Every structure is written in C-alpha cells, then in structure tokens.
Amino acid sequence: MSKKEQQSNAKRNMLRIIPLGGLGEIGKNMTVFEYGDDILIVDTGIMFPESDMLGIDYIIPDFKYLMDKRDRVKGIVITHGHEDHTGAIHHVVEQINAPIYATPLTKGLLEVKLARGGQSGKVKVNEVKAGDTVQIGAFKVEFCHVCHSIPDCVALGITTPAGLVVHTGDYKLDHTPVDNWPTDYAKLAEFAGRGVLAMLGDSTNADRAGWTPSERVIEPAFDKVFREAQGRILVATFASLISRIQQVGEAALRHGRKMAFVGTSMRENARMAKQLGYLSLPDELLVPIDEALKLPVHEVVLMCTGSQGEPSSIVGRLATGTNRQFDLLPTDTVVLSSHPIPGNEESVSRTINKLFERGAHVIYDPVEAVHVSGHASQEEMKFMLNLIKPKYVIPVHGELRHLHQHAAIAESLGYADENVAIVQNGQVIEFRGGKMFMGERLPGGYVFVDGASVGDIGPAVMRERDALSREGFVLVNINVNRQSGKLLRDPEIITRGFVYRQDDDFATETRRQIEKTLAESNGDLQHQLEMRLRDHFLNATKRKPMIFVMINKN
Amino acid sequence: MSKKEQQSNAKRNMLRIIPLGGLGEIGKNMTVFEYGDDILIVDTGIMFPESDMLGIDYIIPDFKYLMDKRDRVKGIVITHGHEDHTGAIHHVVEQINAPIYATPLTKGLLEVKLARGGQSGKVKVNEVKAGDTVQIGAFKVEFCHVCHSIPDCVALGITTPAGLVVHTGDYKLDHTPVDNWPTDYAKLAEFAGRGVLAMLGDSTNADRAGWTPSERVIEPAFDKVFREAQGRILVATFASLISRIQQVGEAALRHGRKMAFVGTSMRENARMAKQLGYLSLPDELLVPIDEALKLPVHEVVLMCTGSQGEPSSIVGRLATGTNRQFDLLPTDTVVLSSHPIPGNEESVSRTINKLFERGAHVIYDPVEAVHVSGHASQEEMKFMLNLIKPKYVIPVHGELRHLHQHAAIAESLGYADENVAIVQNGQVIEFRGGKMFMGERLPGGYVFVDGASVGDIGPAVMRERDALSREGFVLVNINVNRQSGKLLRDPEIITRGFVYRQDDDFATETRRQIEKTLAESNGDLQHQLEMRLRDHFLNATKRKPMIFVMINKN
C-alpha cells in the first residue's frame, strides 16, 4: 500500500466532524459528519453581516471542501426552521443533490424557501418526526424533540461505527413551553444509557448564569400591555417565532381583540404553521389586515416584522412614516418582542426613538419582560452534560468566548481539559479507537453574498469599500498634449464622500501641483501625480481620499 | 414700542433653557441657560459617531445659535471630567471667550486638554469646590457634590430671577463610593426647601429597575480574579474612570502585586489624579511599565485602555498581536472593566474572541461582575425627584426612549403630563411667571469633525460615503474623436469596491454599449452613457455601483 492509500484507509475508519462556515459563531450554520465514504450535512444556515461588512446582503458557510465529494453526501438534516439553520438551503441544493430530512414545520418552511428559488421539484424533503430513526449512509440518525423558540426542533443522536454522537441543536429546557411539548428527556437519557462518545452542545448563552425562563413568563407582561393599551397594539417579532405568534394570539383572545398579520413573511409563515397545526388559534380571532384597520382601535392587535429595526420592515417603515397601507396613530402601543441580534443594537435603539418621536407608546425589554431567550443558560447546560454524559464535549453555536465559557462549565463538572475541544470553524475533529484527535484545519471560512455575486467579494473589495466609506475619493482627469506634455485644458475634478472646497486658491494650487509634476516627471507619471496630489490633499484637509488620475494624451 | 421690541423685552424677562447638540442623547453634551442679556453654558462634550457615520472622528454640539451672542456668554461650567462633557472644550473656546468653572479634578483634566490644543493661556479655568457659590452674570451657580464613576462631580443649583433650576449632571446615589464621599443630600434638600422651579435630570438608566449597585460591589469580583490569576493581570477601562483605577490599585495591594499604567492617556490621567489627591495609592505600589515587564508574571497588574475594543488601544493591539512594547502571554488574564458604549458591542465581542484566540483568559461582565454603571436607576431617579421636589421635570442625558421612561417615573410619583417636558435637542424651554412654555426649536443639531474639517461634512457627503461603501464605483474614461464622435481607443475602466469581471465577453459588451450610445446619442451624452452603463451593470451583477464617465473629446 502506498503511503497515500494508507492515509486514505486510515481516514476511512474514522469519524470526522467539521463545523463549517458561520461568521463569529462556530458550527452554527453547518456541520459536516464524515465516515468512510459517507457524508452527512447538518443544517444549512445563513449569517447576517456585521456592520463593517459593507454592502453585503448575507453570508453563507464556505462548503468548498464538499465540492469534489458531492456524490458522497448521503443526506442533509435540518434541526429547526430558523434562518441561521435553513437560509442557505438553495445555495447548497444548487451544488449538492442529496435528500433533505426535517420535521413537519421545518419541512414546511424549507419548502416555502425552495419554491421561492424555483427549486421545488429539484430536491426531495423527507418528513421525519421526533422519535423517528433514519439510516443515512453510515449514519443512523435519531430525532429527539427539544424546546427552543420555534416548535418542532430536534436534537440529533447520530450513531456511527465510531460511536454515538449527540448534537443538541438550538435548545432550552422549557418545562412549560407554549406548545406544551417539553424536551424529550427520556430519549436523551436513553442516549446516555448507550454511551455517548461526544456531544456538540449549544453555547449561545454560556455566559448567562441560572436557567433561562420559560417562554410562558412573558404572558403577564403581555397581559399588562393588553390591559393598559388605549388604542391598537402592534407586536413586532421574527416571522419565524411561531411560539410568540401563538402567545400574542392567546393574549388577544383573553382581552377580546382581533388579530391580523402584516407583511408577506409573517402572513405566509402563520398560514403555514396554522395549516400544519403548529399555530392553534380559532378562525374567529383572525382578520385580514384591511378589515383590522376598519375596526375600533382598541379591538385589534397587529402582528408584524421589524423587531430588529430593519428599515424595510413594517415597524421600520412605520418609524420613518413610509408605510403604505397605514400610519402610526398616537394611541398605538408598539411592542418589540425580541432582543437585538448582536450588531443591530444601534438600529433597534434608533427605531424605538423614532417611534416615540412619532407619538407611539413603545414597550421593549427591559421596560417590560416581553421577550425571553430561546437558548439554554448555564444551569441547563450543566443539566444537559450530566444527563447525556458524553465522553467528549464539543461546544458549538456561539462565539469563541461562549465556547470558552461552555468549556469552563464542563470543567466545573469534572471534565478534563483534554476531553473538551474548543475549535474554530473548519477544524476537523477526528474520532478513532474511541479517542478524539485534532485533524487538519480546512482553509476558507465564509462566503459573502452580494447581489448576484456569491463569493466574488473578498477581503480586497471589502478594504476598498471601507476606505471609500471613510475617506471618499478624488478623481482628476487631465488632457495632455502628446508632444509638449503640457495641459491642454483645466483638469476636471470629481469628488464623492470627500469635501473639496471649490475656492479659487485651492483649485489654482491643485493645477499648479499638476503642472509642476508634469514638468518634472521622469517615469511613472500617473503614480507621481497621485502621490503629489495625495500630499496636497492631506496637507489641506488632513484626510486621505483615494486618488485616481486619468491621463489622456492627445 | 414696536412689536419686535416688545418681543425682545418679553424675552429679556424670562429664563430660556436649551439642550444643544448631542447625537441621539438629549442635552448630554451642552446646555445653554439664558436670562436677559446673560448666557451660561453647562458642559462642552463630544459624542462618538454611530457605526453608519462613516469616517467621522467625533461629533460636537452645534452651537451656531451662540455665534452672534458670544459676548453675552458669561461663563462655562463643566460638571465632571468625562469626554462627553469636556471633549469639545477647545472647539468652544476657539469661538467663545468666557471663564470656565470646574472642580479641581475636572479642571486638571480640562487643562491637559487645553494644553494639548495650545490654548492654555487663552482661557481662564477657575477652580471651584463642591459647596461653593459663584455668581455668573444673572446666574447664581451653587455646586453640589454627587457620585458618579469619576470623582469630583457636581450637580448645579442655578438661581435665576425666574427661579431656581437644579441640573443633576451625571449621577448615581452611591452610599459607599470609592472615594468615601457620598452625594450631598443636605444640599439637594436645601434646594428643595427653597423651592425648585425645574429639574434637569440624568435619564441614562431610566429603563433599569431598582437601584444601581455601589462601585464597591465589584471588589469581590476583582478579589476572585486576583486570587485565581496564575500570570499577569491586565485591566482595561476608560482612562478617565479614576475610581476604577483606585479600586484595581487597592486589589493589587491586597494581593501583593505591583501596578503599572500602560499608554499615554492612562499614565497622564493617573499622574494628574494622584497629584491632585484623587488617587490615593502608595508610591511603592506603582512601577513603570518597563520595570513591570521584568517582574515575575504573578506579581504585576497592568492598567490599560481598550475596554471598548478600539483597534488602536493597548488591548486592541494586544488582540491583534500588534502591540510594540509587549505581547500577550498564554497565562495572562485580561479584565474588561466597562460596558460597551452603544454601537461598540460588535468590536468589544470581536476583541474578546481574539484575546481568547491568542490564548489569554478573558473576564468580562456578565462572566464576573467587574463593572457597574455610574448612572442612577429607576429607584434613585424617584428618590431624586422626591428629594428635590421640582415643579417641572425636564428629563435629559439619554435617548428619547430614556426620557420617556424618566417621564413615566415622574408620572408614577404624581406629576401631571404638563409638568414634564420631553424635548429634543435645540428645543427652547421658557420659564416666565413661574410657568413653563415651549419656545422655538433651533435649527441644526450636531457637527461632524473629520480630520481638519469641522462642520463641512453634511448629509450629502455622508450619503455618498454610504453609497460607495455598499456598492463601490465604476469609472469609465473614454477618448472620442471630436469630429466623428467615435472611440479613439478602448475605454479605460477602473473599479473600486465593486467586482468587475475582466472577462472578454463582458468587456466587449461594455464597449458595444458605449459605442451604441455614442452612435445614438442626441443631447447629454455623459448622462446617457451613465444611464446605459448603470442598466448594463445592474443586469449583469444585480448591483448599482456609482458610475462616472469621463469623456475626452480630442
């Protein structure tokens, strides 16, 4: 056997787990499981760009690694229906043709997405139920119900020839969830009974002490809002926060208001969740928005998007007075029922201030407890570790700092350092002979999606956008006599994002600098002009705009 | 009397209060008091730009209103030494020549600032002490000690012919402050006894329930950090958080470590505070940084800047491995002892992750309680209102949403709506006959400082920078035969912040589009070319870069 064949054979008899892509958070949007010839993908999500990722629409995991192995992908399992776990599905199915597995609500949300991308027929989405077991290549995948802030979430028990690995997915241990369906502790205990080689565990709230409150805790806050509101109530949240929609509907029932959904995503998701039985609200409660707007103001609650201050959402447009169908009324109460995603804090604050400015009453956490996290806190994470008893702990779903806190939690339970793996995206984790080893680190990371371009935008373009955004540019167009090398006419100067005082002295000096350079130049005239003008502008303005000189010799 | 004279006379017999400038927060950075011919300025602070204010260094209040009245300004009072109350002093004294009044520590910090700007001799800074009374034109100003997160803060009792107005400044009601000097409740009660017409009150934490914990609460957290740290401890905070420096010094004493200050601002502020007696630390405790770096790692604590993740700060440079004097060690413990200022959340998170990546142990709130707010919470705000008993309440120092919460607090104490004024910056509040009225709203708002430019950068330039940052630009330079109108050579194309695939088909199509436009054009050729190319690029890339066409006819 050649050395390469030996290596390849060795690779065949081990389990490899690779958290892929995701920005800041590790293993959040996609994880690859590999055994022998078989590959299993868990989740296909997107991330939203950070505020200095200028002009980027969204970010998808870099799954280049799979490109020459696409035939080996036996299946794609999606743990739940949130964007950061489903949003890249159309990018993945464009490249990889493998069956998808998801629980009914997740399947419904995926199908809406695939239909929008014209990929409905292209790929099969198999419905699985919590409790089901599916053999996907070398992987026996067991679906175990867990609570989160959307119904029908699952953790995964993945049995491989190397051992049983549990992936918690996003979870909280809610004893009184909105859909009355608590986490399946028995199944988790059963995994433990069989012996768990490794656990990949949600670390989102690893720096929060205690136990995340049940989704139910927001009900008194909503009751207070409904009791005190004099006019309409508008509740803003994510369109995929189906449990929250259920809770607002129940509050509306208790307080005798009708409920309407505003905006396409909210309406479509609610319709689909209701059809599949995940939204349990009587038909008499629900009215179309046109009808809701005709009802007396104290008889209606509007459910809409915009809890992150997105300018194009319903609440974003109401805040700036640019919503078409209706305007804010001074008697309106607007409830923001979500926390800002990191990076959105400023736009959420600004939206709240604008809503106040337009006369609305605005309710947000911490003013009232109208939101609660969907992720486990420290005590739940301890519970999960003690319940599942994995040999190895791999903190995922969180920034590096959260993984470190999750590791500290594991260590407080007696885990040894070497049994806890804090890794970055792309790090291959190998299991052979019942032991964990660090493999290679895959290059790449995440891929920017910007208009029609997927992956063309790299660090160089981002640096250019950053420089332009800070300093603007100056464009100098000159026409020079081919023979004499002298200016044929006054230079033409265009600036954007840079203040260029068009006063006579400055323009005269600019022309003088150009003429001087033309006269003295020996060599790269364009470079010399750009350097000379850079100094000239820096002296005059203390700024360094990008400078471009176009030389037309005629 | 003419109508104008009547109006002018009416204005003379009233008190006018104008919160000026500030970005987002109201009345934070500067407030103007006007009675008759006399004007008093309270505070001259700066704001830091929000993340979409591209390339802006900082923001100062727009005090255009004072420009034709500068002779009437009788004095400038500074409540405390933080940047958001002092940072614009050199811009103000450039325009307005009036004596400044400040307590010793604040005066020291102001003088450092004025010296740096070469304005030391230009303006007189008068030292006042808490308890002092100074007559400044029509205003009798009484300085009343309050607690905050820097020593030597004052609230102001401003007696005018229209009545007594109390300005709380930034405050918390700390019963065990680090300098053992609690808020002067007796003085505040004395104001109340004389009858307070109006109170301008700090609203920063108006949405936080309860009572802000004393600065002392962080001591057990620091003791835990000092007890557990195996190597060096680096504590990052604001250079002006003098109380925190004192607390870290005391912890170092308790745990037998030496302390060194890293970076100019930290070193200068500590030196000045120590010299003035506001930092009470024995000389043996303090060592220069060179010496500290030679000590055994478990015997030293380094005090540095960078708690906001600023890339150019000490911690920012350590996180990216670009600090000159020393590098992070794997045994280092880094403590971030401050909360992110709104807008800095992302850069703080990123810095924490990078420090972990480089192997350091990082401690931050909420992992340990290593920071506490310097502003009053709801119960303190109620206490202040019940203590001072103003007739009118003017919430300031906070975003609009915080002012609304402060107003709700006042209303919960029985204040009528009409006795609480929620205003925006520039809104003139008038008092005559013991009553409050809303005057005009001054135009303007805040002024961007960008390099050498103060105020040149306006919304138009910001919009250009925003467009450039999102879409980049395409520059097309063409040379055309003056007679035939045909291209003399291939168009030259430069792009920045935009991905232009230089493949043959696309370049050929671009040239074809240009030639077609040249052939068909009747009228504004440049505009027609730009429109045509915009469509061309939009179709090909789904992006809308800025497009500039330079036409050289020769």
- Please give the DSSP secondary-structure letter assigned to residue B341: P
Tens digits of residue pLDDT in A364-405: 988 899 999 999 999 999 999 999 999 999 999 999 999 999
Q: B289, exposed or middle or buried, with CB in 10 Å at 0-12, 13-18, 19+?
A: middle
Say whether A54 and B492 touch across the interface (CB within 8 A).
no
In chain A, % of residues over pLDDT 90: 66
State how far residue A207 is from chain B, nearest Cα, in angstroms: 6
CB B171 within 8 A of CB B154: no
Please, which residues have CB within 8 angstroms of residue A121's CB and are 6 or more apart in sequence?
Answer: none
Cα-only R_g, chain A? 29
Residues of A in contact with B456 (CB under 8 A): 499, 501
State how far residue A364 is from chain B, nearest Cα, in angstroms: 9
Say whether A497 and B464 touch across the interface (CB within 8 A).
yes
Tens digits of residue pLDDT in A216-254: 999 999 999 999 999 999 999 988 889 999 999 999 999
State how far residue A489 is from chain B, nearest Cα, in angstroms: 11
List the one residue out of A377, A264, A245 whose CA is nearest residue A314.
Answer: A264
Structure tokens at B428: 């003139």
Say whether B465 and A457 touch across the interface (CB within 8 A).
no
Say whether B543 and A353 touch across the interface (CB within 8 A).
no
Looking at the complex, does the CB of residue B367 fall below 8 Å from at least one CB of chain A?
A: yes
Average pLDDT over residues B468-487: 89
Tens digits of residue pLDDT in B17-64: 999 876 778 999 999 999 999 999 999 999 887 777 777 888 899 999
Which residue of chain A is at minimal alpha-carbon distance from B24?
Answer: A350
Segment among A303-312, A360-369, B339-348 with least mean pLDDT: B339-348
Residues of B in contact with A494 (CB under 8 A): 548
Give the distance, in angstroms, between the CA of residue A133 and the centroid of all CA atoms in the same chain: 29
Give the distance, in angstroms, between the CA of residue A459 and the centroid of all CA atoms in the same chain: 20
State how far residue A70 is from chain B, nearest Cα, in angstroms: 27
Annotated active-site residue A255? The verdict is no
Residues of A in contact with B492 (CB under 8 A): 550
Which residue of chain B is at minimal alpha-carbon distance from A453?
Answer: B541
Looking at the complex, does the CB of residue B506 fall below 8 Å from at least one CB of chain A?
A: no
Strand B139-146 relative to strand A30-35, pairing = unpaired
Task: Provide the number of CB pairs (under 8 Å) joining chain A to chain B.
Answer: 186
List the one residue out of A302, A283, A285 whose CA is nearest residue A293.
Answer: A302
User: Rounded to whole angstroms, how far apart are CA atoms A302 and A232?
Assistant: 8
Residues of A in contact with B461 (CB under 8 A): 472, 497-499
List the one residue out of B549, B499, B487, B493 whose CA is nearest residue B524.
Answer: B549
Please, which residues have CB within 8 angstroms of residue A53's CB and are 6 or more apart in sequence?
Answer: A59, A448, A462
Which pLDDT band, with edges at 50, 70 and 90, does B8 fall under?
low
pTM (two decimals): 0.86
Preferred mutation among A57, A406, A551, A552 to probe B, highest tally of B CBs within 10 A: A552
User: Rounded to whole angstroms, how far apart are CA atoms B348 and B338?
Assistant: 10
Segment among A252-256, A335-339, B195-199 with least mean pLDDT: A335-339
The CA angle A245-A27-B360, to the nearest 5 degrees, is 115
Q: Is the pLDDT of residue A3 over 70?
A: no
Q: Is the pLDDT of residue A1 over 60?
A: no
User: Rounded to whole angstroms, how far apart are CA atoms B493 and B56?
Assistant: 30
Map out the domains of chain A with their CATH numbers. 3-210+374-450 (3.60.15.10), 215-364 (3.40.50.10710), 459-553 (3.10.20.580)
Identity of the residue numbered B352: I
State how far residue A209 is from chain B, nearest Cα, in angstroms: 8
In chain B, % of residues over pLDDT 90: 66
Q: Is the pLDDT of residue B101 over 90?
A: yes
Average pLDDT over residues B322-330: 93
Beta strands in B233-313 (DSSP E): 233-236, 258-261, 300-304
pLDDT in the model for residue A208: 94
Say whether A400 and B357 touch across the interface (CB within 8 A).
yes
Say whether B465 and A470 touch across the interface (CB within 8 A).
yes
Segment among A6-10, A535-539, B237-241 with least mean pLDDT: A6-10
The CA angle B115-B121-B125, to the nearest 5 degrees, is 80
Residues of B in contact with A352 (CB under 8 A): 399-401
The torsion defined by the Cα of A243, A248, A250 and A251, in degrees rounded to 10, comes to 150
pLDDT in the model for residue B249: 97
Which residue of chain B is at minimal alpha-carbon distance from A51?
Answer: B51
What's A344-391 look like in SS3? Answer: CHHHHHHHHHHHHHCCCEEEECCCCCCCCCCCCCHHHHHHHHHHHCEE
Looking at the complex, does the CB of residue A493 fall below 8 Å from at least one CB of chain B?
A: no
Catalytic residue among A82, A375, A397, A406: A375
Residues of A in contact with B404 (CB under 8 A): 356, 362
Instruction: Give Cα separations from A123 to A33, A93, A143 (angstroms).
Output: 21, 7, 21
Given phi > 0 = left and psi -120 to 50 = alpha, else beta, which region is A270?
A: alpha
Query: Looking at chain A from residue 2 to 41, which residues have their Cβ under 8 Å from any Cβ of chain B?
Result: 24
State how far residue B431 is from chain A, nearest Cα, in angstroms: 24
Tens digits of residue pLDDT in B359-393: 999 999 888 999 999 999 999 999 999 999 999 99
Q: Is the pLDDT of residue B292 over 60?
A: yes
Residues of A in contact with B488 (CB under 8 A): 554
Say whether A51 and B51 touch across the interface (CB within 8 A).
yes
Given phi > 0 = left and psi -120 to 50 = alpha, else beta, which region is B120?
A: alpha
In chain B, % of residues over pLDDT 70: 97
Say whether A541 and B451 touch across the interface (CB within 8 A).
yes
Helical H segments across A393-524, by residue range: 400-412, 459-471, 504-520
Instruction: Count the neighbouring beta carbons within 10 Å of the beta carbon of residue A235.
Output: 26
For chain A, the average pLDDT equals 91
Say whether A400 and B356 touch across the interface (CB within 8 A).
yes
User: Rounded to whole angstroms, how far apart are CA atoms B330 and B249?
Assistant: 23
Say whether A497 and B546 touch across the interface (CB within 8 A).
no
Average pLDDT over residues B538-546: 86
Q: Is the pLDDT of residue B355 over 90?
A: yes
User: Rounded to whole angstroms, how far apart are CA atoms A56 and A41?
Assistant: 25
Residues of B in contact with A350 (CB under 8 A): 24
- Residue numbers of B annotated as active site: 202, 375
Residues of A in contact with B425 (CB under 8 A): none
Q: Is the pLDDT of residue A74 over 60?
A: yes
Compare B51 and B89 and report the one with higher pLDDT: B89
User: Rounded to whole angstroms, how far apart are CA atoms A253 and A193?
Assistant: 44
For chain B, the average pLDDT equals 91
Which residue of chain B is at minimal alpha-carbon distance from A346?
Answer: B343
Which pLDDT band, with edges at 50, 70 and 90, does A2 fall under?
low
User: Rounded to whole angstroms, how far apart are CA atoms B206 and A250?
Assistant: 31
The torsion defined by the Cα of B311, B315, B321 and B326, in degrees rounded to 10, comes to 130
Annotated active-site residue A375? The verdict is yes
Segment among A17-21, A190-194, A432-436 with least mean pLDDT: A17-21
Say whether B542 and A494 touch across the interface (CB within 8 A).
no
Q: Is the pLDDT of residue B5 over 90?
A: no
Residues of B in contact with A457 (CB under 8 A): 499
Compare B267 and A457 and report the one with higher pLDDT: B267
pLDDT in the model for residue B1: 55
User: Rounded to whole angstroms, how far apart are CA atoms B76 and B79?
Assistant: 10
Looking at the complex, does the CB of residue A124 fall below 8 Å from at least one CB of chain B?
A: no
Which residue of chain A is at minimal alpha-carbon distance from B467?
Answer: A469
Average pLDDT over residues A88-100: 94
Q: Is the pLDDT of residue B4 over 80?
A: no
Which of A424, A467, A550 has its CB closest to that of B492?
Answer: A550
Tens digits of residue pLDDT in A166-184: 999 999 999 999 999 999 9
Q: Is the pLDDT of residue A215 over 80?
A: yes
Tens digits of residue pLDDT in B137-167: 999 999 999 999 999 999 999 999 999 999 9
pLDDT in the model for residue A37: 94
Say whether A543 and B492 touch across the interface (CB within 8 A).
no
Query: Looking at chain A from residue 185 to 244, which residues have their Cβ under 8 Å from any Cβ of chain B?
Result: 207-209
Which pLDDT band, with edges at 50, 70 and 90, does A331 fall under?
very high
pLDDT in the model for residue B3: 66
Say whether A466 and B469 touch across the interface (CB within 8 A).
yes
Tens digits of residue pLDDT in A255-295: 999 999 998 889 988 998 999 999 999 999 999 999 999 99
State how far residue B492 is from chain A, nearest Cα, in angstroms: 9
Compare B219 and A504 and report the one with higher pLDDT: B219
Which residues sit opposite A364 in a β-bridge?
A: A336
List the one residue out of B211, B201, B212, B209 whose CA is nearest residue B407.
Answer: B201
Q: For A336-356, b where at least 16 C-beta lie within 10 A, e where not — what string?
A: bbbbbebbbbbbbbbbbbbbb
Compare B492 and B453 and report the one with higher pLDDT: B492
User: Rounded to whole angstroms, how far apart are CA atoms B227 and A40?
Assistant: 46
Cα-only R_g, chain B? 29
Which residue of chain A is at minimal alpha-carbon distance from B547?
Answer: A496
Residues of A in contact with B412 (CB under 8 A): none
Secondary structure (3-state) at A453: strand
Residues of A in contact with B50 (CB under 8 A): 346
ipTM: 0.82
pLDDT in the model for residue A4: 65
CB B332 within 8 A of CB B360: yes
Catalytic residue among A84, A170, A202, A450: A202
pLDDT in the model for residue A7: 64
Which of A24, A364, A499 has its CB closest to that of B461?
Answer: A499
Looking at the complex, does the CB of residue B473 fall below 8 Å from at least one CB of chain A?
A: yes
State how far residue A52 is from chain B, nearest Cα, in angstroms: 8
Please, which residues have CB within 8 angstroms of residue B170's CB and are 6 or more apart in sequence?
Answer: B79, B80, B82, B85, B146, B148, B153, B202, B204, B374, B375, B397
State how far residue B97 is from chain A, nearest Cα, in angstroms: 26
